[in-house]
A = this chain, B = another copy of it.
Amino acid sequence: MDKTMDLLMAHRTVRRFKTEAVEEALLDRILACGLRAPNTGNMQMYSVVVTREPELKDKLCDLHFGQCRTAPVWLTVCADVYRYHRWCQANGCGEPYGNLLWLLTATVDASLCAQNMMTAAESAGLGGCYLGTVLYQTKAIAELLHCPKGVMPVATIALGWPDEEPRMSERIGPDGVIHNETYHDYSDEDIDRIHRVREELPFNQEMVRQNNVRNLAELFTTLRYPLKDNLAISEALKNFIDINWK
């Protein structure tokens, strides 16, 4: 068996951490693995902000709604056109990358870097959690971390030595996600069958009961990620991009 594949298959999200620090040398190796990730044109349009100072970490954690409070290391991975533009300017070449193409390109590249770091961390026995809330609080996080114009936080990893053994979360199977040759549309029966693994999970059924909703989809669309919030956050993101990504 292949150890790396076994590691990838064993991923679990860790949200509670021991107090012991992540050694400097180990963290450096994890960061180095991030920097070796593939990226467009080898332009490395991303940056990683490593936050460990307790007070600052607490403020950052507040902006993530208090999640993963015990994590000793926070990695805020940013799409970053700023550093590249500084280099272009120094060479008399303007600032050609403050547009949507490079926002998406840099977001993909930042994410590849982030996932390399997550994989490296897990291979050393560390655990971590991605915090999607980075896109809820982008402006406030960018300000707290002193990000200049052209730097947009897009992925956050809270990292440390695990203090829990979390369950492995379920996944929709390959028949729901993988398409052969071209995208094959789903029948109503497909949609039902694919999602049954979610709906029938005792944990999810308990969540539906506790929250007094009709079904799992209602839990997600009315309580966890409702339209009203999605629209408000999208508007804030649009404003942030309009002002800061150019």
- A interface residue numbers (CB < 8 A to B): 2-5, 7-11, 13, 28-33, 35-38, 40-44, 46-53, 56, 78, 83, 86-88, 90-94, 96-97, 99-102, 104-105, 107-108, 111-112, 114-116, 118-120, 123-124, 129-130, 132, 135-136, 144-148, 151, 154-155, 169-174, 176-186, 188, 191-192, 194-195, 214-218, 220-222, 224-227, 230-231, 233-234, 237-238
Selected from B35, B108, B112, the residue in CB contact (under 8 A) with A174 is B35
- Minimum C-beta distance from A108 to chain B (A): 5
Cβ of B13 and Cβ of A49 under 8 Å apart?
no
- Minimum C-beta distance from A61 to chain B (A): 14
Cβ of A41 and Cβ of B86 under 8 Å apart?
no
Residue from A46, A151, A183 whose CB has the most chain B CB atoms within 10 Å: A183
Selected from B31, B44, B225, the residue in CB contact (under 8 A) with A41 is B225
List 30 A–B pairs whose Cβ atoms lie within 8 Å, in order of A's numbering: A3-B3, A5-B29, A8-B33, A28-B174, A35-B174, A40-B130, A42-B169, A44-B177, A46-B177, A49-B179, A56-B181, A83-B176, A83-B186, A87-B191, A90-B188, A91-B214, A91-B215, A92-B214, A93-B217, A93-B222, A99-B230, A99-B231, A101-B135, A104-B237, A105-B135, A108-B111, A108-B155, A112-B130, A115-B116, A116-B119
How many of these chains are in the complex?
A: 2
Cβ of A47 and Cβ of B217 under 8 Å apart?
no
Complex Cα spacing A52 to B233, Å: 39
